[in-house]
Amino acid sequence: MTGSKTALSKYQRLESIGLWRDTPEGQRREVVVLMGEATLVISDFRSGRALSHWSLPAVQRINPGQKPAIFAPGEDSPESVEIDDEHMLAALKMVQSAVRAARPHPGRLRGLLIGASLLALAGLVTFVLPRVLVSHTVSVVPPTKRAELGMRALDEVTRLTGTPCTGELGLPALAELSERVFGAENTPILFVLPEGLTRPAHLPGGVILLPRSLIEEDAPDALAGAALIEGLRAKQSDPMHGLLYHAGLRATFELLTSGDLPASALDGFGEEFLRNEAALPSVPVLAGAFNTAGLRIGPYADWLAAHGGGEEAAALAAADVPDGTLSPLLPDDSWMALQSVCSEG
- Check residues 32 and 279 and name the one with the higher pLDDT: 32
Distance CA 120, CA 216 (A): 56
pLDDT at 220: 94
95-99 LR contacts (CB < 8 Å, sep 24+): 95/4, 95/7, 95/8, 95/11, 95/35, 95/56, 95/120, 96/56, 96/57, 96/59, 98/3, 98/4, 98/7, 98/8, 99/4, 99/7, 99/8, 99/56, 99/57
Does the global pTM surpass 0.85? no
pLDDT band at 217 (very low <50, low <70, confident <90, very high): very high
| Between residues 169 and 186, the one the model is more confident about | 169
pLDDT exceeds 50 at position 10: no
Q: What is the per-residue pLDDT for 276?
A: 86
Mean pLDDT across 280-291: 88
DSSP state of 225: H
pLDDT in tens, 160-184: 999 999 888 899 899 999 999 998 7
What is the tens place of the pLDDT at every residue in 222-281? 999 999 999 999 988 899 999 999 998 889 888 988 889 999 999 999 999 998 877 788
- The per-residue pLDDT for 12 is 54
Question: What is the pLDDT of the chain when averaged over all its residues?
Answer: 82
What pLDDT, on the 0 to 100 scale, is given for residue 54?
Answer: 83
